[in-house]
Structure 1
């Protein structure tokens, strides 16, 4: 086995192994060489090399999204680490365990004009669950060759640092900090930052393991059910005639079928789900926007719940947020281990349990189903909406709306669907998706950056065929995602190219002006064809319904390289077709 000669580097790799962190995404650099040496010479680790740090972090996030286990990203010092920030923010708000290992200069080289040096300590602020700022090995401190050339105050600072380090035991301190960071990431499902100073020489190796970390107890999070809390909720639940369950982003198969059925059997409950909820039942209500958008004030008051129960991650639908902020429930309970967002400004309780644990504890104690017409009334409305949507699709020309209808019908069963943000996920919400398809989208920060990289990382960690649907701006913004040697041959990308940010045309404001085209919609004439040639994707194109149906007929067939289908839609009519849809189904 080959190790770095630097004890701190050995500490990092050894503790990552102890904590069973197998996937390591490395961006090439010099200052992180000691870490790269340790990770890449140990067969325990699965290492990936991705040059662009922003893409690397989202790629790692995609792997962690699928495995629900910490994945590490490793970079050199300086601005490299800042490129991780978008993915870290996404991981923070999506509860995805991501471990940032940033190499750094020694303290005495910060803010003296050295290259690739910034203030890396606590650089991610409140967007990480823990920041561990490690100490330079004492051995390395003693080998600083330039110390005699340092200003006197720096020399004194170094000597004081050594003295304090000796007192506190640098090795014990570093081991403890690394262990705490890795444990927090795993238990609380979120990003952590470990900043690691290295002094030169950086590339020396040895076959000897210098360090012997003290054993740590690796914890597992256990749900603790409070029977008194459960009992306090039952009286309210039993008396409520209108109960609404709203489900955000949820891992597939995280809720047992018996509890899903128990909920569905209660006529006083309606369950609103999103495509990212991965929760299905014939009596549930997907397509929230098409349910709510056409309602008038009388209908909205009739829909207003007495009790709102939420679980899962963040919600896509703006319309359900606006509705529940105006027509507030008497009680809002959120179930989940991490933070409870007061999205509707009426949060009453945060029940810190996994949703399935809560349902398994709560539902068996529900002694009766309250007599109510709540669900039956809205099931009838849902049926009308679906019929009107089918009728509307027969009347419209080739457009974003019709394209999403066509491509979502062709998604292979028992596959994974990754969706880009902005218009892509909002259109996807309007259509039915087979229950065997697992759906994911970066809804933590809802940014268009990194969606492609995340989808590729997820495809690497999941053997199922993956289809990624994205808009043109998001795709070109993250085009370095394709600079990646790990893309499976069964990976599929569908780019809806309407030559700009079409979603901005739906919003209020003056349109069809040069100012709007340039600074809001951002018109362009780019295509994905040259990128596909560069990165080895099979490329196909469609600009009308006939071409689209022809391309979709064999798009999911097995090939020896990944595929990309670019669909060109008319930029000036998509907004009108979508807005008219909501009028039509009313």
Structure 2
């Protein structure tokens, strides 16, 4: 093994090892050389080199999301770290423990005109769980320090070491206990490349601060009584990990005639009795002459939510207008008042909550669920009929693609049109579905999927649109692509989602500045990065190429599906008219 001769670098590496932070994503640079040397020369760590910092941060975040444990991403000084910010914000709102480590210039080099220097301390503080600003070692490069930053020498190395250890320990505790991203900023003075075979510091291995106990013991009898006596209960589930809810709980909820349970594709929750396509229930009501009456019939007395952010804009608009009497959110960490009617934050797991309050004894017995099940059966039949009537488009492409995903795959969805189309169709319950819904940006979808694939026991499929794919094309610039990695790229020559939003105009300005129409193909990118590239331009071609797309290969594959730009929005909007 080899270590940098700089104490702060040694200290960080030793604490990462002692706490079990094994995966380190490194964006090459010079100022971070002390850390790069120390991590890459220690066989305990799995080190990954990703040049583009934005891609590196999403790559690390995808890995942390999959492993459900902290993963570190490391960069040089200057604007490099600012490229981490999109992934940091996503991790913050998605409760993913990303550890950002930035090498910094000494304080006396900042704001004097030196290159690659910015004000790095606390720069991520608005979207971070903790910012650890380490102090510069005074035992390293002491002559330089005395010449330019003599005031630093007023503090001894022992005091610097104690401060740095406490900061590192606190940051790691937040990442592990609270599942927030954290930032550790470390200033280094040159020389940066000195090495020693054994560490010259001995860390104290300080006790991590105990996690704050935010739990509140609930009056379960009272909550259970409210649950049992409510004749219209709605359970709405946002982003969640696969297999997060016990089968016992699912069966009890499925058999309650007073409960409508809405899931989203990203919830990874499945049962024949649940309602999987929220928009297919609500859109027909919006267009109905009986709109007010039907929305009143759907309005719950009690709304119970758990999981992360909700994709469906329609359910958010409905619940904000037709508010429930009570809204309980179940989460040990936080509760968002998404519908402006939150009445209770229950700080526990959904499994414990439902086991405490739900029983087979039901006081109120209504036709709430049965009424909406009838609507569900009707739209499912009409969706099948609609697919027989329409020409090839995004709608047909997504239906065929989703239906043909092999069992057991890990599926990553890009944002905008992709995740919204996926909401309309049933995913096989063996699939594990992920999407960056914390900030819902198109940046980083591919990088996240690639990072998540690294430690996955199953193959990974990225289902993406053209703008998301081309925006994050540097995600393919690495040597870690698995041969079983698959990308299905829906290329509709622009941001198709803008054609269904209010304010759409058929003008050159709209096509250029909103839809951003283009004529790009992934062919050259596939050739450059060593992917097999396959195309499909119509329904027959798509069904034909899907037969062999997932078979074993020597290269990862991209399937690029071309769909008609100016027709897709009409067919999607026509679907909601048809089922109405």
Interval containing the TM-score (normalised by the shorter chain): over 0.9
Would you say the 8 A contact 1:248–1:312 is kept in 2?
A: yes
Cα shift at 1:125: 2.1
Show structure 1 runs of 5+ residues with no match.
Answer: none
Show structure 2 runs of 5+ residues with no match.
Answer: 286-290
- 1:104 is matched with 104
The 5 Å alignment of 1:395-406 reads 395-406=389-400
Q: Report the secondary structure of 2:139's partner residue.
A: helix
Q: 1:123 to 1:571 in 2, by over 3 A?
A: same
The 5 Å alignment of 1:78-117 reads 78-117=78-117
- 1:570 is matched with 564
Would you say the 8 A contact 2:138–2:157 is kept in 1?
A: no
The answer to whether structure 1 residue 188 and structure 2 residue 183 are counterparts is: no
- 1:232 is matched with 222
The counterpart of 2:274, out of the listed 260, 270, 284, is: 284
Q: Structure 1 length as normaliser, TM-score?
A: 0.96
Cα shift at 1:221: 6.2
Query: In the aligned structure 2, how far is the partner of 1:143 from the partner of 1:351?
Result: 57
Cα shift at 1:414: 1.0
- 1:387 is matched with 381
Would you say the 8 A contact 1:141–1:162 is kept in 2?
A: no
Would you say the 8 A contact 1:420–1:471 is kept in 2?
A: yes
- 1:245 is matched with 235
- 2:521 is matched with 527
The 5 Å alignment of 1:328-407 reads 328-363=323-358, 367-368=361-362, 370-407=364-401
The answer to whether structure 1 residue 204 and structure 2 residue 198 are counterparts is: no
Q: Report the secondary structure of 1:144's partner residue.
A: helix
Would you say the 8 A contact 1:223–1:354 is kept in 2?
A: no
Instruction: Name the stretch that deviates more: 441-450 or 206-215.
Output: 206-215
Instruction: Name the stretch that deviates more: 518-527 or 371-380.
Output: 371-380
- 1:133 is matched with 133
Cα shift at 1:6: 0.5
- 1:545 is matched with 539
- 2:320 is matched with 325
Cα shift at 1:142: 2.3
The 5 Å alignment of 1:285-324 reads 285-295=275-285, 296-324=291-319
Q: Report the secondary structure of 1:398's partner residue.
A: coil
Q: 1:331 to 1:455 in 2, by over 3 A?
A: same
Would you say the 8 A contact 1:3–1:205 is kept in 2?
A: yes
Cα shift at 1:138: 2.0
Query: In the aligned structure 2, how far is the partner of 1:558 from the partner of 1:218?
Result: 46
- 2:153 is matched with 162
Query: In the aligned structure 2, how far is the partner of 1:323 from the partner of 1:515?
Result: 33
Q: Report the secondary structure of 1:580's partner residue.
A: helix
Q: Deviations over 1:225-254 (max 9, x none)?
A: 644443332232122111111000000011
Q: Deviations over 1:99-137 (max 9, x none)?
A: 000000011111111110000010012100100000001
Q: Report the secondary structure of 1:485's partner residue.
A: coil
- 1:23 is matched with 23
Q: Deviations over 1:152-196 (max 9, x none)?
A: xxx5xx42x432x33981111111110110110111112100001
The 5 Å alignment of 1:51-90 reads 51-90=51-90
Q: Deviations over 1:252-301 (max 9, x none)?
A: 01111101111112111111000000011111111111111111221111
Q: Report the secondary structure of 2:475's partner residue.
A: helix
Query: In the aligned structure 2, how far is the partner of 1:361 from the partner of 1:219?
Result: 31
Cα shift at 1:361: 3.1
Query: In the aligned structure 2, how far is the partner of 1:208 from the partner of 1:508?
Result: 64
Would you say the 8 A contact 2:15–2:205 is kept in 1?
A: no
Instruction: Name the stretch that deviates more: 223-232 or 428-437.
Output: 223-232
Query: In the aligned structure 1, how far is the partner of 2:393 from the partner of 2:122?
Result: 47
- 1:420 is matched with 414
Query: In the aligned structure 2, how far is the partner of 1:561 from the partner of 1:194?
Result: 37
Query: In the aligned structure 1, how far is the partner of 2:123 from the partner of 2:242?
Result: 34
Q: Report the secondary structure of 1:464's partner residue.
A: coil
Query: In the aligned structure 2, how far is the partner of 1:80 from the partner of 1:98?
Result: 16
Instruction: Name the stretch that deviates more: 225-234 or 246-255.
Output: 225-234
Q: Deviations over 1:482-504 (max 9, x none)?
A: 00110111110011001100110
Cα shift at 1:367: 4.8
- 2:288 is matched with none
Query: In the aligned structure 2, how far is the partner of 1:561 from the partner of 1:228?
Result: 54
Instruction: Name the stretch that deviates more: 525-534 or 216-225.
Output: 216-225
Would you say the 8 A contact 2:170–2:208 is kept in 1?
A: no
Number of residue pairs matched by the alignment: 575
Query: In the aligned structure 2, how far is the partner of 1:520 from the partner of 1:327?
Result: 32
The 5 Å alignment of 1:424-439 reads 424-439=418-433
Q: Report the secondary structure of 1:553's partner residue.
A: helix
Would you say the 8 A contact 2:60–2:448 is kept in 1?
A: yes
Cα shift at 1:508: 1.9
Query: In the aligned structure 2, how far is the partner of 1:496 from the partner of 1:543?
Result: 10
Would you say the 8 A contact 1:28–1:50 is kept in 2?
A: yes
- 1:213 is matched with 203
Cα shift at 1:143: 3.4
The 5 Å alignment of 1:25-40 reads 25-40=25-40
Cα shift at 1:581: 0.4
Instruction: Name the stretch that deviates more: 52-61 or 228-237.
Output: 228-237
Query: In the aligned structure 2, how far is the partner of 1:522 from the partner of 1:324?
Result: 33
Q: Deviations over 1:504-560 (max 9, x none)?
A: 011122422111111111011110000000000000001111111111110010101
Q: Deviations over 1:327-382 (max 9, x none)?
A: 00011111112221110000111112222232233335x75353121111111111
The counterpart of 1:272, out of the listed 262, 270, 280, is: 262
Q: Structure 2 length as normaliser, TM-score?
A: 0.97
Query: In the aligned structure 2, how far is the partner of 1:66 from the partner of 1:172?
Result: 34
Q: 1:219 to 1:243 in 2, by over 3 A?
A: farther
Q: Report the secondary structure of 2:332's partner residue.
A: coil
- 2:167 is matched with 177
Query: In the aligned structure 2, how far is the partner of 1:362 from the partner of 1:141?
Result: 63
Q: Deviations over 1:382-408 (max 9, x none)?
A: 111100100001000000000001100
Would you say the 8 A contact 2:65–2:452 is kept in 1?
A: yes
Q: 1:313 to 1:40 in 2, by over 3 A?
A: same
